[in-house]
Every structure is written in structure tokens, then in C-alpha cells.
Amino acid sequence: MNAQDATAVLDESERREISKHAVQRRFPAKALIVQEGDRSDSLYIILEGRVKAYMSDASGREVILSTMGPGEYFGEVALDEGPRSASVMSLEPCVLSVIPLADLDLLIQNSPAFASHFIHRLLGRIRTLTKNVGSLALMDAYGRVARLLLESAVTKSGVQFVPERLTQADIASRVGCTREMVSRIFKDLVQRRYISLEADRIVIHRIPPDRG
């Protein structure tokens, strides 16, 4: 899971203001909320649960673009009324606030705080996409795995860790390599004591190298 940037998460007062324009919907785990290519017509704000945004091809191969949790939102490109650029699926039971396009436009016009947040969110997405394209072009798989672990990590009580055990398949789809390659990289990182794998998290003992 990506460690949440404070600027990417709506606070409680912002969510209360937005709820005036939204309808709550519940989704079970593994529900397809948004389909890539569908018409954009709503913004979705996560109140409970986690989702993943991903792209896939005709053969079923999948690339995970991001995972999101409470206070985050997706569907920003609804403003241009073009097709959805990615699919979104619930990873666990979710409660979402859904804002129709017409209400989203009014919210942006009438709420300077939300408009500012919305703009900074889009700028953050652009920076992330630029960085990801650069890493795919310039880093090998080892470096991309190391970067994903560091960017997903949080630090509490002096311990740096990824707050959930990402599966090797999850990591492979995020960094653009095979699960077998991720397995070899993890084995090396554990043997060289850069990381250790616990039941519910990955502990980072020192900064992993860019290359093996």
C-alpha cells in the first residue's frame, strides 16, 4: 500500500462539506467500481475500506497504478467527461461517497478549500506518474522494488516498515517485472539483512540498494 501523503487525504471537515453533494454507496470486496474505458460521470471519495486502481490488457495481464484508503479519492478525470483511464476495484468492503459530475463542478466553484486540494492532488498525480515513467526507463527491477518499498513505508517508534505484507504478485504488477524476479530480489534483500518479512508487514532495517 502506498504510504498516504497528508496532502492527498481529505480531513474530516472537508469530508463533511463534500457529503452534502454526495450519495453514499457500499461495495463488497473485489467489486469492480470503475471500468477502464467507461464514460466519466462521478468522483468517488473513500470513507471506509481500500481500493486499487489498475490497468489490464486483453490477455488479463494487470498493472496496479495505486492503492487508496479512507480520505483519498479517485475519478478526478471525470471533469473532462472522457473515458475512464483506469479500472478501480475494492480490496475489502468499502463505503464511498459518490459525487455526480454536475455537483463536482459546483463544489469546485463554491469551495476554495476543496478546489485547492483538488489542484494539489492532480499535481501530485502528475509528479508520481513522471517519476514512475523515469524509474521504468532508467532503473532495473531491483531498483524499482527498492523504491516501491521505501515509498510505501512509514516510521513508528524508530522502526521503518511497510504497514502491510504486499504480495509478490502485487509488487510485480506495480514495478513492471515478473513475480519470479520479485521473489529473487526479496530473497537477496532478506539474506543481506536489508529487510525482514513479518506476518503483517515488511520491516526495512536499512536503505536497499538501487541494484543487486
pLDDT tens digits, 162-208: 987 788 888 888 887 888 889 999 999 999 999 999 988 999 999 98
Residue 148 lies in a domain: yes
What's the pLDDT at 2? 44
Question: Are 176 and 196 within one domain?
Answer: yes
Question: Are 124 and 148 within one domain?
Answer: no
pLDDT tens digits, 120-169: 877 777 777 766 665 555 467 888 888 889 888 999 999 999 987 788 88
Domain total in the chain: 2
Domain boundary (80, 106, 136) is at 136
Which CATH number is 95's domain given? 2.60.120.10
What's the pLDDT at 193? 93
Question: Are 181 and 81 within one domain?
Answer: no
Which CATH number is 185's domain given? 1.10.10.10
pLDDT tens digits, 63-78: 778 888 888 888 876 6
| Segments forming the whole domain that contains residue 170 | 140-204
Assign 3-class secondary structure to the chain: CCCCCHHHCCCHHHHHHHHCCCEEEEECCCCEEECCCCECCEEEEEEECCEEEEEECCCCCEEEEEEECCCCEECHHHHHCCECCCEEEECCCEEEEEEEHHHHHHHHHHCHHHHHHHHHHHHHHHHHHHHHHHHHHHCCHHHHHHHHHHHHCEEECCEEEECCCCCHHHHHHHHCCCHHHHHHHHHHHHHCCCEEECCCCEEECCCCCCCC
What's the pLDDT at 6? 45
How would residue 79 be classed by pLDDT, with cut points 50, 70 and 90? low
pLDDT tens digits, 16-54: 667 777 889 999 999 999 988 888 788 898 989 999 988
Question: Are 64 and 157 within one domain?
Answer: no
Question: Are 90 and 156 within one domain?
Answer: no
Residue 209 lies in a domain: no
Residue 108 lies in a domain: yes
Does the model's pTM come out above 0.85?
A: no
